[in-house]
Chains A and B, each alone.
Chain A
Amino acid sequence: MVETLLKVRGLKIEGRSDETWSPIVNGIDLDLCKGEVLGLIGESGAGKSTVGLASMGFTRDGCRISAGSVEFDGIDLVQAAASTKRDLLGRRIAYVAQSAAASFNPAHRLIDQHTEAPVQHGVMSRSDSEADGVELYRKLRLPNPEEIGFRYPHQVSGGQLQRAMTAMAMSCRPDMIIFDEPTTALDVTTQIEVLASIRKIVEEFDTAAIYITHDLAVVAQMADKIKVLLKGDEVEEAETREMLAHPKEDYTKSLWAVRSFKRPQKPAVQSTSVPVVSVQNVTAAYGKVPVLHDVSFDMHAGRTVAVVGESGSGKSTTARCITGLLPPVQGQIELDGIPLPADYRKRDKSQLRQVQMIYQMADTALNPRKTIGELIGRPVQFYMGLTGSDRRRRVEQLLEEIELEPSQYFNRLPSELSGGQKQRIGIARALAAEPKFIICDEVTSALDQLVAEGILKLLARLQDELNLTYMFITHDLATVRSIADEVVVMKEGRVVEQGLKEDMFRPPHHPYTDLLLSSVPEMDPDWLTNLLNERGVDNIGDAAIDKMENESPV
């Protein structure tokens, strides 16, 4: 029998809002043995981070532990004196935060922050700890381990900072580390490196860990067992393989099932047909900074073109060129074979009407002071000239189209809707213009997986009914798999590769596409291990990109 390190019983946490306390976590039990990794997953608002922090005996401002116990190695952290907790934190329990850039103090060098905990807790002398830090940096495969510690946080990239933070958490060789979504803010190719190094070091020092994430595929690689949370309640807990193979609860099953939605591949278009929107040799710049270089691709009626790339690849800029918000320096946009004026202010009403947009953040895309009826009614009135009861009827029709009951939603404000419902309103507003072409800018990435699935299905249905053309901007390859007909891969403002989806997911690839595809975690718990065995640690992430660029400049 392995020794239990952390024992949480009946943990209840309340949060303060408007002078009253409302429950966030309603009675969670949790056990963690020495050297074990527990994955804590759930959608946003499930209370996973709150539980993670509470297992260190810590609550954020405006939260409090109202009941239950958190026993770490026999000490109840809920009741313990502040000084007792201080002695444990950093020395035996460590924390790795989501945003390393914000969690490192900008005023001190990395190594000074690294050695702080060991020196303050009396574990190591300053010089020993410094040497140890360099050793850890090396183990975590940071470039220039001897030198990187003497930099300030803003001089180091995000993925490297995240690894430096893992090193800092390891500085006292703690018994337990809480990882709070350590890779969520990173691009996929960077993420994989961080995942590999976290896993390596946790295994090497036999540290127990709680790994918090919303990404099932990530947790499958990292955890020995998984606990699923929903709105502050535990849904179920099981060994990772058991959980993936045989989820018991309906909610867990539905999470797993999300990945199954997939539309059949449509055949290639005839070369004679005129594309709905054609991007032709577009080069664009913000001021003097060039962001797009000679981008060309076509989008044909009734099809979905997914534009894929990591942050900064120029996907959204391309969309801004198409809508006319950013007139290109060179090249042009054609609608039905006719060139569009570069600036949206020079386009006429019908041209504006044909190109609509759905935004990533439904919160900022809908004016919070307008009712649903006004939001959807405005384009109806503006473009179609409908007023009074005609307008109302059309809005109701659109609401039915997006599967919301008109009588219930017509007079509501956006703040009274859930994230998924808001996104549906955004779709209805675009449909109200009766466009040919809709740009979907990361429309599902701010949503939880189940809700995102619903939106994708709705978009697919609408496309079939209305023969719409979508330009689907995303960084998530799973979404591409499920909805795209054609794929355009972008990197640093250039199109790297384009073609039918089926072809794109079948080798041979362009080396960057290959790297991108291989970096997306899969649900198979052996995926990371296999990948590392197959490619070797030097052929993943930033290291691979550097290598690629040295060998064949894009």
Chain B
Amino acid sequence: MASILKIIAQRLALGILTMFVVSVVIFTAVNLLPGDFAEAILGQGATPEAVEAIRKDLGLDQHPVRRYISWLSGAVQGDLGNSFAQANFAAFVGTDTGSGLSSVATQIAPRFENTMFLAGVTALFAVPVSLTLGILAALYRNSVFDRATNIMTLSSISSPEFFLAYILILFLAVMNPILPSLSNIYEGMALGERFTKTLLPALTLTLVVTAHMMRMTRAAIINLLASPYIEMARLKGISPLRIIVKHALPNALAPIINVIALNLAYLITGVVVVEVVFVYPGIGQLFVDSVKIRDIPVVQACCLIFAGAYILLNLTADVLSILSNPRLRHPK
């Protein structure tokens, strides 16, 4: 047991280290901006006073390493700095800088919650459906069913998310008005209504993620079914159902966990486009909007959150598959 704890501790340390390096990369990338980003943000027409005010307020006059440390220590405590868009606005109206600034954290928090809701609803559909379909396709491989699902999943993977989204809008919102095509969610909405409004973006994401997840599950299960111990079980006259449950599943756990984690991580990327299509007020949309208006602190923070979620998911998968490996659980 000691060795397994050691391995997990190593993975955790590695995850934290990666996260740290990633934060350096993000910070450095942002600081590659030409000149000064106060100027870049405000544009040519800004008064020197406004530029100076912002520069002071955001600590741009300090050394980058110092700034990085204060940014990181803030981020760890949940303080992600102040949004430029707000600062910009405040500077132009000439109000007292410092008090009128809206913090990135307060901007992101509700949207983060919305995105998690969307991802949750998607996972709720996608995981059971794709695992079932993937296992079925593996069991009946090379059958008509397998070939048909192969073609459909390949097509679904190949299509850009917005194509699937518009097709769903076309059929489920425009031609047959079953679901709303805009997901204008606000705080305090009843859960039922919120769910209905989230359904269409969630379905779009489900289509994409299910295809990926199903194909990976199929490959993992086929790989597993080809192992000699499955053949041995069949030659012992064990029933097909028992072979799946007793012999295949305990060993399939690690690959399946990996498949799920990988695809939930994929969701993070997919969420950006889908949120834009459906005007879903999540972190993805905020991110794209901030990219367009070059609101650096928000972009930075969103990037950090996305990368953090990504690393966390991969780490979880890693640890879970270590825990499910009998060779590691029962050392010699």
Candidates A61, A89, A105, A155; contact of B237 at CB < 8 Å? A89
Q: A residues within 8 A CB of B247? A: 105, 107
- Determine whether B6 belongs to the interface, using a CB cutoff of 8 Å to chain A: no
Q: How far is the CA of A307 from the CA of B121 in the complex (A)?
A: 66
Q: How far is the CA of A95 from the CA of B232 in the complex (A)?
A: 8
- Determine whether A117 belongs to the interface, using a CB cutoff of 8 Å to chain B: yes
- Determine whether A211 belongs to the interface, using a CB cutoff of 8 Å to chain B: no
Q: A residues within 8 A CB of B250? A: 105, 107-108
Assess A104 versus B229: contact at CB under 8 Å? Given A120-B242, A155-B332: yes
Asked if B327 contacts A105 (CB within 8 A), the reply is no
Interfacial residues of chain B within 212-236, with CB under 8 A of chain A in the complex: 226-229, 231-236
CB distance from B208 to the nearest CB of A (A): 31
Q: How far is the CA of A56 from the CA of B229 in the complex (A)?
A: 17
Asked if A121 contacts B235 (CB within 8 A), the reply is no
Q: A residues within 8 A CB of B226? A: 61
Asked if A116 contacts B232 (CB within 8 A), the reply is no
Q: B residues within 8 A CB of A87? A: 237
Candidates B228, B237, B330, B332; contact of A103 at CB < 8 Å? B228
Q: B residues within 8 A CB of A103? A: 228-229, 231-232
Asked if A152 contacts B234 (CB within 8 A), the reply is no
Task: Give a binary string over A71-112; 1 marks a CB under 8 Å from any B CB, 0 the rest.
Answer: 000000000000001111111001101010011111110000
Q: B residues within 8 A CB of A107? A: 247, 250-251, 326
Candidates A86, A89, A102, A152; contact of B228 at CB < 8 Å? A102
Asked if A90 contacts B229 (CB within 8 A), the reply is no
Q: How far is the CA of A58 from the CA of B242 in the complex (A)?
A: 18
Q: B residues within 8 A CB of A108? A: 246, 250
Across the two chains, which residue of chain A brings its CB closest to B328? A154
Candidates B227, B234, B237; contact of A102 at CB < 8 Å? B227
Q: B residues within 8 A CB of A58? A: 234-235
Asked if A154 contacts B332 (CB within 8 A), the reply is yes
Q: How far is the CA of A120 from the CA of B246 in the complex (A)?
A: 12
Q: B residues within 8 A CB of A117? A: 236-238
Candidates B228, B235, B251, B327; contact of A56 at CB < 8 Å? B235
CB distance from A476 to the nearest CB of B (A): 26
Asked if B237 contacts A88 (CB within 8 A), the reply is yes
Size band of the interface chain A makes with B: 20 to 34
Asked if B327 contacts A99 (CB within 8 A), the reply is no
Q: Is the interface of B mostly helix, strand, loop or mixed?
A: helix
- Determine whether B44 belongs to the interface, using a CB cutoff of 8 Å to chain A: no
Asked if A89 contacts B236 (CB within 8 A), the reply is yes
Asked if A120 contacts B327 (CB within 8 A), the reply is no
Asked if B238 contacts A90 (CB within 8 A), the reply is yes
Q: How far is the CA of A549 from the CA of B101 in the complex (A)?
A: 79
Q: A residues within 8 A CB of B239? A: 86, 120
Size band of the interface chain B makes with A: 20 to 34
Q: How far is the CA of A94 from the CA of B237 in the complex (A)?
A: 9
Asked if A116 contacts B238 (CB within 8 A), the reply is yes
Candidates B227, B234, B237; contact of A120 at CB < 8 Å? B237
B229, B246, B247, B330 pick with most chain A CB within 10 angstroms: B229
Q: B residues within 8 A CB of A106? A: 229, 251, 326-327
Q: How far is the CA of A90 from the CA of B242 in the complex (A)?
A: 14
Q: How far is the CA of A382 from the CA of B250 in the complex (A)?
A: 55
Asked if A121 contacts B326 (CB within 8 A), the reply is no
Across the two chains, which residue of chain B brings its CB closest to A120? B238
Candidates A61, A86, A91, A154; contact of B327 at CB < 8 Å? A154
CB distance from A59 to the nearest CB of B (A): 11
Across the two chains, which residue of chain A brings its CB closest to B225? A61
CB distance from B283 to the nearest CB of A (A): 40
Task: Give a binary string over A101-134; 1 marks a CB under 8 Å from any B CB, 0 the rest.
Answer: 0111111100000001100110000000000000
Across the two chains, which residue of chain A brings its CB closest to B332? A155
B242, B247, B330 pick with most chain A CB within 10 angstroms: B330
Asked if B236 contacts A97 (CB within 8 A), the reply is no
Across the two chains, which residue of chain B brings its CB closest to A62? B142
Q: How far is the CA of A120 from the CA of B238 in the complex (A)?
A: 7
Q: B residues within 8 A CB of A152? A: 326-327, 330
CB distance from A292 to the nearest CB of B (A): 25
Assess A90 versus B237: contact at CB under 8 Å? Given A107-B251, A154-B332: yes
Candidates A61, A95, A120; contact of B235 at CB < 8 Å? A95
Q: B residues within 8 A CB of A89? A: 234-237
Across the two chains, which residue of chain A brings its CB closest to B325? A106
Asked if A155 contacts B330 (CB within 8 A), the reply is yes
Across the two chains, which residue of chain B brings its CB closest to A118? B236
B233, B239, B326 pick with most chain A CB within 10 angstroms: B326
Q: A residues within 8 A CB of B330? A: 152, 154-155
Interfacial residues of chain A within 446-481, with CB under 8 A of chain B in the complex: none
Across the two chains, which residue of chain B brings its CB closest to A104? B229
Q: List 9 A-B contacts (CB under 8 A).
A: A56-B235, A58-B235, A89-B237, A95-B235, A103-B231, A107-B326, A121-B237, A152-B330, A154-B326
Q: What residues make up the interface of A, taking CB atoms closer than 8 Å to B?
A: 56, 58, 60-61, 85-91, 94-95, 97, 99, 102-108, 116-117, 120-121, 152, 154-155
Which 9 residue pairs are nearest across A and B when measured between Cβ atoms?
A: A89-B237, A90-B237, A90-B236, A107-B250, A102-B228, A95-B235, A105-B229, A103-B228, A103-B232
Given contacts A58-B234, A103-B232, 12 further A-B contacts (CB under 8 A): A87-B237, A90-B236, A91-B237, A95-B236, A103-B229, A105-B232, A106-B229, A107-B247, A107-B326, A116-B233, A116-B238, A120-B238
